[in-house]
Structure 1
Amino acid sequence: MRESPSIVPVMDQDVYLVLDDFGAMGCAWRETNVEDTGLEAVIEDLLEGQYSNPVRIIRFNLAEGWVRDVSEEIAQKLSQRCADRGGELPYSLHQLVEQAARR
C-alpha cells in the first residue's frame, strides 16, 4: 500500500497562531502564511489590526512536540510595545489584554 505524504510540514521552529472571535459566527484559528507565524510577525499583525477580536494565542513546535498557550505573554508584549512607541493599544486588543491581566 502506498503512503500518502503528510500534510503536516516538517519545521523545527516555534509557530504562533491566533484564535479570533467572530461573534455570532464563532471562533476560528486564523489562516496565515508560514513566514508570518513567528513572534514578531504575529505581534505586528496584532498591532496593525489584522485580527478582529483575538482571544487566544498558542505557540507550538512540531519537531519538539509541544504546544503552549502564550496569550498572557503576548498581551504583555503588546502593552509594552504600545507604551514604548507612545501609542494607544488598538481597540481589537483590549479584551485580550484585559483577560491576561485578570489571570
Structure 2
Amino acid sequence: MRQSRWTPTIVPNVGDQNVYLVLDCFERSGCAWREADAGDTDLETVIRDLMAGQYNDPQRVIAFNTSEHWADDVSEDVAREIRRRADLRHEDLSSSIEDFVIRHAGRQQQLTLRLA
C-alpha cells in the first residue's frame, strides 16, 4: 500500500476574504512579494500603505480568494483608485507610486477648455 505524503499549505487560512499582495522591487535584491500580516492584506490597507510610501518600487498587486478559487492582477484598479484619492486630496504622489500609477492606469489626461 502506497502512503500519500501530506504537504502543509503556505496559503494563509484567512477564511472567505480577498487577500492582496504587492510585488515590490529593490535595487540590488530583485523583486519579492512583500511579507504582510494576514490582517494587513485587505484592499484598504494595501492602498493606504502604497500611498504612504511603504513600498520601494511596487510592480503589481495581486488579489486572490482561496475559498472562491480565484486570483487576479488588480494593479490597474488599484492604480486608478490611488489616482482618484490623490486627486480628491490634491496630493502629489511619491515618484515610485506615480510610476506604478502611470504604468498601470496611464498618464492622467488634462481636460482642455475649448474657447469659442
TM-score (norm 1): 0.89
Gaps of 5+ in 2: 107-116
* Structure 1 residues 5 and 99, CA gap change in structure 2 (3 angstroms): closer
**How far off is 1:7 after superposition?**
3.9
The residue identity in structure 2 corresponding to 1:80 is: R
RMSD: 1.7
Question: Match of 1:38?
Answer: 42
Distance in 2 between residues matched to 1:21 and 1:30, nearest whole Å: 9
**8 Å CA contact 1:55, 1:95 repeated in 2:** no
Describe the SS at the equivalent of 1:24. Answer: coil
Gaps of 5+ in 1: none
**How far off is 1:3 after superposition?**
5.0
Matches within 5 A, 1:76-91: 76-91=80-95
> CA offsets per residue over residues 19-43 of structure 1, 9 Å max, x none?
0011231100000011110011001
**8 Å CA contact 1:16, 1:58 repeated in 2:** yes
Question: Match of 2:112?
Answer: none
Question: Match of 2:57?
Answer: 53
Matches within 5 A, 1:1-103: 3=6, 6-10=9-13, 11-102=15-106
**How far off is 1:48 after superposition?**
0.8
More helix by share: 1
**How far off is 1:89 after superposition?**
1.3
Distance in 2 between residues matched to 1:63 and 1:30, nearest whole Å: 22
Describe the SS at the equivalent of 2:72. Answer: strand
> CA offsets per residue over residues 64-86 of structure 1, 9 Å max, x none?
11100000000000001111111
Identify which range, 92-101 or 45-54, moves more after superposition. Answer: 92-101
Describe the SS at the equivalent of 2:28. Answer: helix
> CA offsets per residue over residues 41-73 of structure 1, 9 Å max, x none?
001100111001101000000111110000000
Mark the structure with the bigger radius of gyration.
2
Distance in 1 between residues matched to 2:40 and 2:105, nearest whole Å: 26
Number of positions where the alignment pairs a residue of Structure 1 with one of Structure 2 = 102
Q: Which has the higher contact order (CA 8 A, sep 6+)?
A: 1
